[in-house]
Amino acid sequence: MTAPLRRVVGRRVLAIGPAELAALFDRHARAVIDVGTGNGRPILLRAAAEPTTLAVGLDADAAAMAEASRRACRSPTKGGLPNALFLVAAAEALPEALQGRCDEVLVLFPWGSLLRGLTAGPPGPVAGQSGASPGSSDLVGGLAALLGADGRLTIMLSLTERDAGLGGVPASLSLATLKPMLAALEAARLDIIECREATRDEVLATGSSWAKRIRAGTSTRPAWLVRAIRRSVAGAG
């Protein structure tokens, strides 16, 4: 977690210092971050519904967040949202200044390296093998490190045989194929609250335009919901 901090404001990418970021977090009662936010719609919705929550969208692709960040930066009298912030970073190298600052981490319908890193399983030696397992990743560790005490992580994902060709991800989702991800969450000191198929209503409630477009949560494209909570220090073991 060593990447410099860069925020998106429309088509511009600007530096934001750790002190400025810390002050922004300190001014809000809670903070939610959506990693791989894409067009940032869920973040705009959250920021509008919860004015005392800092809603942060983060994506490796600054251009994807241009429109949402432009909207957020309007004057509040014209629908602007001063409690929404958009940051450019890769999920594999999250800025250190975000560590421990978030009450909620969302990862909604990830794709590409974000999806691969999530589903790869925990890093490090696997029982009965020497060395790290092939494809293992500590992306989940980086996500878990964003959470403060009692912080919660919500992941929604959808993957079917039709997505063959993505490479390095399971052919489809089930409790069995999600096992490496659940193991990575446990290894990152998170307790799994639930792991099950999501309903279409739950999918739509995320505000994800991508999920709506691909019809995630329908019988032809099931969606999976995983919720986890940061293990309390007493139970850290």
Ligand X SMILES: C[S@@+](CC[C@H](N)C(=O)[O-])C[C@H]1O[C@@H](n2cnc3c(N)ncnc32)[C@H](O)[C@@H]1O
Binds ligand X by CB under 6 A, chosen from 24, 31, 90, 147: 90
The yes or no reply on residue 145 touching ligand X (CB under 6 A) is: no
Helix %, strand %, coil % for the chain, to 5?
Answer: 35, 25, 40
Among 3, 13, 48, 60, binds ligand X (CB under 6 A): 60
Q: In what order do the strands lie in the sheet with 6-9?
A: 12-15, 6-9, 84-88, 53-59, 30-35, 102-108, 147-157, 223-230, 190-198
Selected from 114, 169, 182, 225, the binder of ligand X by CB under 6 A is 114
Among 25, 86, 109, 224, binds ligand X (CB under 6 A): 109
| Interaxial angle between packed helices 179-187 and 112-119, expressed in degrees from 0 to 180 and rounded to the nearest 10 | 80
In whole angstroms, how close is the CB of 42 to ligand X at the nearest point?
Answer: 7
Q: 156 to 215, contacts with ligand X by CB under 6 A?
A: 208-211
Q: In whole angstroms, how close is the CB of 213 to ligand X at the nearest point? A: 8
Yes or no: say if 105 and 147 are a contact pair by the CB < 8 Å rule.
yes
Residue of the chain from 9, 28, 61, 179 that contacts ligand X (CB under 6 A): 61
Nearest distance in Å: CB 211, ligand X: 5
Cβ(229)–Cβ(190) under 8 Å?
A: yes
The pair of three-digit structure tokens given for residue 50, joined into one six-digit string: 């919860």
Q: What tokens does 33 get?
A: 């971050």
Interface with ligand X (CB under 6 A), residue from 110, 142, 170, 180: 110
Residue from 56, 46, 48, 49 nearest 24 by CA: 56
Region of 6-14, 55-63, 119-127, 145-153 interacting with ligand X (CB under 6 A): 55-63
Q: Which residues bind ligand X (CB under 6 A)?
A: 36-38, 59-61, 64, 90-92, 108-114, 208-211
